[in-house]
């Protein structure tokens, strides 16, 4: 009897499976009817659009598909945005104004530091010429150049300035021609632009004449100057030569300096005019050569022999190159050395009087007289020093000397940290506009983040190693290694209990943080990316992480649940993020420009107020967008100043300033955020749409399989069926199932729509 009952139940299960298959077929018919309903409800609405080379596709489940280099990136629309089509994108009311420039270009330029009559030192870095008042410690900026400034000189009136730039390319790869700007330092007004269309690669040296209105421009020489006593005479120097030029009737004739019995140096680096009219040159052999005119050698060359310029005296000056010479008013001479890093004062007859070594700041690149005793010194480690031989020299301008990538701002103080390929970690003060302290590491740093308590900062290095520095003692308090590839991002959770480390080995390492950020223990590892980690952010509750990778993936991780990958990204669409630095995401989709290939944006940062987002691009520009900006062609404000790809941007803790960092230009720009209006980007998006009308279609199928015996039927064949239904349903719940699918279509203001689909399988409940 038991075997018969088991066989009967197996037959019932087989019948149930067949009935469920039929129910699924009916649901598929329902799927075919839903599009017809939508077409009737919403006519003429296109579900696919292609915008300026970045392809977007809107699906019926409120997701946006973006294509970068052919790779689809799906982003889900948050629930508070009911109609994506009607979102209004506006430029932010906030704007940026350049407040301060950190750095000086001394590593590969010369003769680029002068003192104006206003008491301002004028020098350049990136595309900006800086006018820095050495007593008041204020800055002004000349910003008319479109690419890196390479040379500078001032007029004898110490008011007018000439600055030349290098050739460059625009964002479309088209070449930009170099030229020279002549401008008024008191008003920062451009007086004239010359040389456009004349030069190919760049302008390397410029000079004003003393008497008449001449400007000489060269791009293959180390130095050029007019003779102060005769403006028809010009001198240039460079590789193994010095030329003496004469300007007559609009044409130039040259005479080459004769080295005679003296060894010809590889380079003549610099020259000055003595008070007696002689020319003094500094060369790569460490010598100062004194040049003078000699009458023509009639005995050798015969009648008509012309005068020549020959070496009258050779003075041994430095160990290594003589990079710069500066003539003081009383006839004394200052020379700056390369290898020995010395500044030497010479008497008028070239007898050494005093010397000083500036070993911590690199070779001496440029010297400018302030008042006969005090001088300004530019060095190859991109520093400007101020001082005297008696009191020594202190740095008034400092900067990095190689490409920079790591940038972090303090959570509560007006300080920020930078690190880069020069192995320096620098902490700067945004209020006092100076370097607070720096340290040199064994390897170069690429990323950094402050612990929320502000006591320590973590720095990720190029070898997989990362350090934790104490801000007060400047000492390394923790030292760890994850993998053997470079680290690209460090990010603390909002409460400081976790640290996430993104690596080029495709993993995100998560650490528990204790003892106020001084002790770390491995918590887990996020494994799922197929390329290196580029950016990551924590959720506001500190439980989840959003990350981007080099192959344009957006992944979400449940850190609290054991660093698990969240397969259903739809569930993260409404999650709130403590920071937003990921360059790929629904809320920042509008920052991608026309023709973007995925590498055009290096970094972005949302303000703490969540009103704006700043973007660092590969075309030397900083952009400011409203936040969020989820639609293509989002309007923005664009700012120039960098002469290289912008590697990073960060807002200060109170959003009063934005910091941007150049790559090869070694320049840090501090922008003041000028506020205007009180609108909120989130409210603008939230109010963009509302539901007008909703139509829902539901199909439900319930299947129960019951075995009916003859004893359960009446004479008509249907006696006792309802009773048996209830009885069997209570007994055989596993043999009764239902399948329901509902799809609702909501018409929105402006003709858009949104859909919601729910499908459920289970047992009926009574």
Q: Decide if 214 is inside a domain.
A: yes
If asked whether residues 378 and 445 sit together in one domain, one would say no
What is the Cα 247 distance to its own chain's centre? Answer: 47
Distance CA 626, CA 606 (A): 9
Distance CA 534, CA 550 (A): 6
If asked whether residues 645 and 704 sit together in one domain, one would say no
If asked whether residues 488 and 613 sit together in one domain, one would say yes
**Is it the case that residue 679 has pLDDT exceeding 80?**
no
Q: What is the mean pLDDT of the segment spanning 520-546?
A: 97
If asked whether residues 581 and 622 sit together in one domain, one would say yes
What's the confidence (pLDDT) of residue 4? 57
If asked whether residues 436 and 467 sit together in one domain, one would say yes
Give the domain CATH number at 572: 2.130.10.10
Q: Decide if 97 is inside a domain.
A: no
- Identify the bridge partners of residue 367 per DSSP, sorted by sequence position: 377
Q: Decide if 749 is inside a domain.
A: yes
What's the confidence (pLDDT) of residue 410? 98
Q: Decide if 100 is inside a domain.
A: no
If asked whether residues 297 and 240 sit together in one domain, one would say yes
DSSP string, 55-90: EEEE-TTSEEEEEETTEEEEEEPPTT-S-GGGPPP-
Domain boundary among 376, 397, 418: 397
Cβ-contact 40, 693 below 8 angstroms: no
What's the confidence (pLDDT) of residue 714? 40
Q: How many CB atoms lie within 10 A of CB 113?
A: 23
At 302, the pLDDT band (50, 70, 90 cuts) reads: very low
Nearest to 468 by CA among 484, 486, 445: 445
Q: Decide if 95 is inside a domain.
A: no
The per-residue b/e assignment along 325-364, b for 16 or more CB within 10 angstroms, e otherwise, is bbbbeeebbbbbbbebbbbbbbeeebeeeeebebeebbbb
Name the residue with higher pLDDT: 690 or 488. 488
Scan for tokens 């949104």, then name that residue. 754
- What would the two tokens of residue 318 be? 């430095």
Q: State the virtual CA torsion across 443, 448, 450, 455 in degrees, nearest 10.
A: 0
Scan for tokens 């309903």, then name that residue. 37
What's the confidence (pLDDT) of residue 35? 53
Domain boundary among 380, 397, 414: 397
Q: State the virtual CA torsion across 550, 555, 558, 564 in degrees, nearest 10.
A: -80
- Identify the bridge partners of residue 543 per DSSP, sorted by sequence position: none
Q: State the virtual CA torsion across 51, 55, 61, 62 in degrees, nearest 10.
A: -40
Output the average pLDDT for the chain: 83
Nearest to 88 by CA among 497, 539, 689: 689
Q: Decide if 609 is inside a domain.
A: yes
User: 369: domain range?
Assistant: 105-397
Report DSSP state, residue 564: E
Domain boundary among 351, 374, 397: 397
If asked whether residues 113 and 80 sit together in one domain, one would say no
Name the residue with higher pLDDT: 382 or 36. 382
If asked whether residues 620 and 757 sit together in one domain, one would say no
If asked whether residues 296 and 363 sit together in one domain, one would say yes
Q: What is the mean pLDDT of the segment spanning 9-15?
A: 56
At 168, the pLDDT band (50, 70, 90 cuts) reads: confident
If asked whether residues 392 and 501 sit together in one domain, one would say no
Three-class secondary structure assignment of 176-237: ECCCEEEEECCCCCEEEEECCCCCCCECCEEEECCCCCCEEEECCCCEEEEECCEEEEEEEE
**Into how many domains does the chain fold?**
3
Q: Decide if 93 is inside a domain.
A: no
Question: For 548-606, how does the pLDDT look when each residue is reduced to its tens digit (9 = 90+)?
Answer: 999 999 999 999 999 999 999 999 999 999 999 999 999 999 999 777 888 899 999 99
Name the residue with higher pLDDT: 759 or 210. 210
Q: Decide if 337 is inside a domain.
A: yes
What's the confidence (pLDDT) of residue 232? 84
If asked whether residues 173 and 214 sit together in one domain, one would say yes
Distance in Å from the first CA to the final CA of the chain: 32
If asked whether residues 462 and 576 sit together in one domain, one would say yes
């Amino acid at each position: 009897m038991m075997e018969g009952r088991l066989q009967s139940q197996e037959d019932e299960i087989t019948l149930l499976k067949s009935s469920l298959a039929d129910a699924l077929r009916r649901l598929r018919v329902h799927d075919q009817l839903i599009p017809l309903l939508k077409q009737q409800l919403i006519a003429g609405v296109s579900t696919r659009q292609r915008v300026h080379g970045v392809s977007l596709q809107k699906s019926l489940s409120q997701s946006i598909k973006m294509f970068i280099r052919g790779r689809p990136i799906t982003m889900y629309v948050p629930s508070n945005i009911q109609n994506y089509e009607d979102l209004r994108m506006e430029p932010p009311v906030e704007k940026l104004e350049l407040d301060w420039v950190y750095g000086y270009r001394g590593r590969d330029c010369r003769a680029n530091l002068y003192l104006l009559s206003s008491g301002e030192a004028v020098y350049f870095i990136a595309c900006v010429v800086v006018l820095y008042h050495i007593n008041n410690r204020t800055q002004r900026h000349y910003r008319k150049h479109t690419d890196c400034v390479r040379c500078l000189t001032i007029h004898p009136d110490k008011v007018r300035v000439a600055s030349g730039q290098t050739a460059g390319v625009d964002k479309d790869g088209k070449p930009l021609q170099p030229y020279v700007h002549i401008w008024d330092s008191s008003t920062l007004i451009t007086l004239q632009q010359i040389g456009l269309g004349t030069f190919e690669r760049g302008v390397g040296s410029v000079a004003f004449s003393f008497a008449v209105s001449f400007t000489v421009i060269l791009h293959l020489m180390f130095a050029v100057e007019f003779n102060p006593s005769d403006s028809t005479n010009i001198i240039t120097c460079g590789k193994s030569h010095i030329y003496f030029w004469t300007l007559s009737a609009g044409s130039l004739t040259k005479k080459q300096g004769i080295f005679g019995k003296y060894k010809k140096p590889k380079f003549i680096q610099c020259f000055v005019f003595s008070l007696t009219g002689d020319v003094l040159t500094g060369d790569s052999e460490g010598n100062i050569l004194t040049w003078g005119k000699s009458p023509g050698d009639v005995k050798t060359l015969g009648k008509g022999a012309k005068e020549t310029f020959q070496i009258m005296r050779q003075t041994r000056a430095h160990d290594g190159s003589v990079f710069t010479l500066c003539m003081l008013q009383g006839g004394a001479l200052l020379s700056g050395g390369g290898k020995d890093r010395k500044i030497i004062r010479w008497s008028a007859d070239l007898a050494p009087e005093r010397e000083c070594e500036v070993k911590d700041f690199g070779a001496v690149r440029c010297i400018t007289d302030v008042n006969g005793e005090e001088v300004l010194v530019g060095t190859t480690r991109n520093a400007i020093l101020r001082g005297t031989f008696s009191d020594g020299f202190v740095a008034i301008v400092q900067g990095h000397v190689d490409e920079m990538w790591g940038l972090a701002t303090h959570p509560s103080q007006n300080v920020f940290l930078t690190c880069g390929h020069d192995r320096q970690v620098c902490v700067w003060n945004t209020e006092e506009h100076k370097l607070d302290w720096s340290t040199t590491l064994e390897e170069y740093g690429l990323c950094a983040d402050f612990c929320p308590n502000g006591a320590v900062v973590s720095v990720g290095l190029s070898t997989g190693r990362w350090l934790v520095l104490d801000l007060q003692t400047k000492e390394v308090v923790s030292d760890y290694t994850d993998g053997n590839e470079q680290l690209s991002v460090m990010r603390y959770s909002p409460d400081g209990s976790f640290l996430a480390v993104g690596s080029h080995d495709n993993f995100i390492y998560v650490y528990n943080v204790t003892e106020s950020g001084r002790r770390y223990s491995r918590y887990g590892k996020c494994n799922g990316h197929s390329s290196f980690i580029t950016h990551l952010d924590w959720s506001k509750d500190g439980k989840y992480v959003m990350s981007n990778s080099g192959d344009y993936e957006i992944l979400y991780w449940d850190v609290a649940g054991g660093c698990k990958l969240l397969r259903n990204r739809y569930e993260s669409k409404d999650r709130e993020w403590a920071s937003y630095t990921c360059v790929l995401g629904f809320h920042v989709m509008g920052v991608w420009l026309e023709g973007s290939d995925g590498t055009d944006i290096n970094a972005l940062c949302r303000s703490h107020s969540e009103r704006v987002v700043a973007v660092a691009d590969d075309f030397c520009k900083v952009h400011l967008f409203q936040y969020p900006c989820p639609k293509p062609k989002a309007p923005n404000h664009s700012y120039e100043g960098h002469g290289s790809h912008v590697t990073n941007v960060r807002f200060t803790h109170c959003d009063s300033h934005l910091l941007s960092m150049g790559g090869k230009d070694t320049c840090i720009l501090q922008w003041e955020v000028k506020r205007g209006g009180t609108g909120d980007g989130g409210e603008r998006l939230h109010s963009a749409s509302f539901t007008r009308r909703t139509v829902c279609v539901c199909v439900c199928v319930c299947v129960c399989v019951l075995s009916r015996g003859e004893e359960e039927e009446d004479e008509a064949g249907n006696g006792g069926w309802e009773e048996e239904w209830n009885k069997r349903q209570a007994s055989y719940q596993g043999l009764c199932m239902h399948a329901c699918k509902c799809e609702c279509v909501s018409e929105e203001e402006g003709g858009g729509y949104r859909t919601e689909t729910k499908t459920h399988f289970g047992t009926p409940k009574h």
